[in-house]
Amino acid sequence: MRLSNATLCLVSFIVFSFLQSPAFAVKRSYVVYLGGHSHGVQSSSIDLDAVTESHYHFLGSFLGGHEHAREAIFYSYTRHINGFAAHLDDEVAAQIARHPKVVSLFLNKGRKLHTTRSWDFLGLDHNGVVPSNSIWNKTRYGEDTIIGNLDTESKSFSDEGYGPIPSKWKGICQNQKDAGFHCNRKLIGARYFNKGNASVVGKLNSSFDTPRDKEGHGTHTLSTAGGNMVPRASVFGFGKGTAKGGSPRARVAAYKVCWPPVSGNECFDADILAAFDVAIQDGVDVLSVSLGGDPTAFFNDSVAIGSFHAIKHGIVVVCSAGNSGPADGTVSNIAPWQITVGASTMDREFRSVVVLGNNMHYKGQSLSSKVLPDKKFFPLLSAADAKLANASIQNATLCQAGALDPKKVTGKILVCLRGKNARVDKGQQAALAGAVGMILANDFLTGNEIIADAHLLPASHINYTDGLAVFAYINSTKNPMARIMPVTTLIGTKPAPFMAAFSSKGPNTITPEILKPDITAPGVSVIAAYTEAEGPTNEDFDKRRVQFNSVSGTSMSCPHVSGIVGLLKTRYPNWSPAAIKSAIMTSATTLDNANERILNASYIKAGPFSYGSGHIQPNLAMDPGLVYDLSTKDYLNFLCTLGYNDTLISAFSQDNYKCPGSINLANFNYPSITITNLVGSITVTRTVKNVGTPGTYRAQVQKPVGISVKVKPKKLKFKKVGEEKTFIVSLKVKKGEAIKEYVYGQLVWSDHVHYVRSPIVVKAV
């Protein structure tokens, strides 16, 4: 993506001639991004007020006066991000966008959470936390991104055994309009941001004036990243064990930016930028971000902008990849300064076996606490054969509301097809029609990805192949029968992990030379703390309440990585965000627990566009041996390769920056190597830093099909910690052997103790 040339000066403004907008012009909410600030971290209230006044002055030059600007602006970003959000008509917005002081101007777009909950609309996201000891972080994406009465309702956020809140923390507990919401020495801060939402939906009622989690997403993700150790946790008695976050002794904070959906959007750019700006000032160390939208140019992306300002202050930003898989090119949060996380399974199942009348057994999953009479078979019916006369076969097959005939369904086990409406809603519709149980069968796209949901009737979710067998059995006999066995918890199941079908995939559609996602982590049927404001299915008909719940999505995998980042920040407080990211990526594995290549949900070998560098291995990440490091300047050089000019990048970074005379994006020191449109040959450069004991590392290469790979030198000798060595990798197309699609290999540097692995992704033309 390319931006037009623009210049920015923070305080000096040029007054354009005033153009009156027509009275009937429709105003929309926009974000006007002006780069960074010249004032320091220890800015005073006078400094912040001066920035706001400068925003009024600037916008007033377009609107005809200071007071008009005051009425239009609903956010003034004053701390680390320079800009504002305002109601503007499109004509004025176009004028502002052309101003040389403006880095970018974009609509206040909506984004989504990255949790699938019980739904099969793929594309939601999550929240953030901070990791251990004096580490804190922000919970940022969530439909409701925070925790309700954490200090009293959830043991995951109890402050028992915690000392005073560290002095570096500058945040607040924003509970002035919700006196029942409390922070403590564990949950040390909570804020909410809803003006961007209000600018789209209109005036909000008082229920929006709270950081309280009324939906469960924030509680779940925050406890995954930084929740306390809580013994005897379970969902209806299943999966019983000790719940704990990745950084269980972390201090945590919550920043609520997501709200009930508006046309499918839950989290708006203006609110997201406001949360980033404040969280950096509050003193967070890790930001865990489980939300996203369609990839766009970095300067038009609130998460990319906010993340960049965060990493400038040493804050690691972890983002969910999105839930729009399994299609290619769907990954979101693709800036190189973010850690982007896909979702995969773990070796635990909540098994509920389906037994047919022909004695065939099919292994499904469920978290239903309801059971059918032992060993009793019931008539089995395809939902397609249970439709009401005025309903479509498609709606009936999907077990949608108003499509099932109770006269046909009563007393039977109903087989519903996955897709479109919520998985648990299918069971509810079956139950309302009189079914005694439900078998939920996957479609082709969802393959082997089966999810344990807290159904309200006896139910089992089976994979695509087994679903075909069940439908075939129904069609093969006049009196099909079945039973559903009670749920049991199994540990050590194989193969695991494999990729979730919903997990968004590469290639990166903005900068394909940067491999995304970066990593994968557990994101299917994850048990963590939950709000008791709603039932485990988040459906109105579900009156049950749980303290822990099983939820799926890249929203759930993201905080796994955030928690591990917290541990790394604690152990290596001087490491850069890029070094921490490298440690996580280069220590990951591409093998499952059967020592075979990680598979996708169709049990076909997955690749780097699914899992990035592989599945996270926390223990190995703590001692990576070598890291690929990057500084803020390296990221600015990266932007130069995309065509952004010196003046615009200087405004973005608030540094006097000049693009190097010659720079190649292929040499960007990323922990993976991705070459698109390779013609002939290319040589790329990488630099590694020793963060372990002295030693000698030797290169091992697995070559992509049709590509020759040579590494020079083949051996790197390190004598001390912090020592850096540079090497080159030459890649060449083998005539007659290369194929014109992406192929994969890997480079491993090893001293026989550490295995520093980087994926190689190449497409020849």
Residue 178 banded pLDDT, cuts 50, 70, 90: very high
CA–CA distance, 212 with 195 (Å, rounded to integer) = 16
The two structure tokens encoding residue 188 = 């040390």
Residue 133 banded pLDDT, cuts 50, 70, 90: very low
Architecture of the domain whose range is 349-490: 3-Layer(bba) Sandwich (3.50)
Three-state DSSP class for residue 471: helix
Contacts of 450 (CB under 8 A, 6+ apart): 364, 365, 442, 461, 462, 463
CATH class of 669-764: mainly beta
Average pLDDT over residues 316-323: 97
Three-state DSSP class for residue 51: helix
Average pLDDT over residues 57-78: 97
CA–CA distance, 169 with 150 (Å, rounded to integer) = 19
Q: Where is average pLDDT lowest: 172-181, 237-246, 468-477, 646-655?
A: 646-655
The two structure tokens encoding residue 733 = 């197309």
Residue with tokens 């920035």: 51
- pLDDT digit string (tens) for 330-389? 999 999 999 999 999 999 999 999 999 999 999 999 999 999 998 899 999 999 999 999
Three-state DSSP class for residue 737: coil
Domain ranges of the chain: 32-105, 119-346+497-624, 349-490, 669-764
Does this model's pTM top 0.75? My answer is yes
Active site residues: 151, 217, 555
Output the CA angle 309-588-156, nearest 5 degrees. Answer: 65
- pLDDT digit string (tens) for 71-118? 999 999 999 999 999 999 999 999 999 999 999 999 999 888 887 654
CATH class of 32-105: alpha beta
Alpha-helical runs (H) found in 654-712: none
CA–CA distance, 156 with 151 (Å, rounded to integer) = 9
Side chain identity, residue 6: A
Phi, psi of 342, deg, nearest 5: -85, 180
- pLDDT digit string (tens) for 480-507? 999 999 999 999 999 999 999 999 999 9
User: Are the C-beta atoms of 484 and 380 separated by less than 8 Å?
Assistant: no
Alpha-helical runs (H) found in 572-699: 577-586, 608-611, 618-621, 632-641, 646-653
- pLDDT digit string (tens) for 208-232? 999 999 889 999 999 999 999 999 9
- pLDDT digit string (tens) for 666-699? 999 999 999 999 999 999 999 999 999 999 999 9
Three-state DSSP class for residue 388: coil
Q: Where is average pLDDT lowest: 280-294, 557-571, 641-655, 688-702?
A: 641-655
- pLDDT digit string (tens) for 735-746? 888 888 999 999
Q: Where does 119-346+497-624 sit in CATH, by number? A: 3.40.50.200
Q: For residue 527, list its beta bridge partners.
A: 550
Side chain identity, residue 715: K
Q: Is 638 left (phi over 0), alpha (psi -120 to 50) or beta?
A: alpha
Average pLDDT over residues 427-450: 95
In this prediction, residue 656 carries a pLDDT of: 82
Side chain identity, residue 619: N
In this prediction, residue 145 carries a pLDDT of: 27
In this prediction, residue 153 carries a pLDDT of: 67
Q: Cβ of 49: how many Cβ atoms within 10 Å?
A: 12
Average pLDDT over residues 507-515: 97
Contacts of 518 (CB under 8 A, 6+ apart): 339, 340, 341, 581, 584, 585, 612, 613, 671, 672
The two structure tokens encoding residue 290 = 């489980």
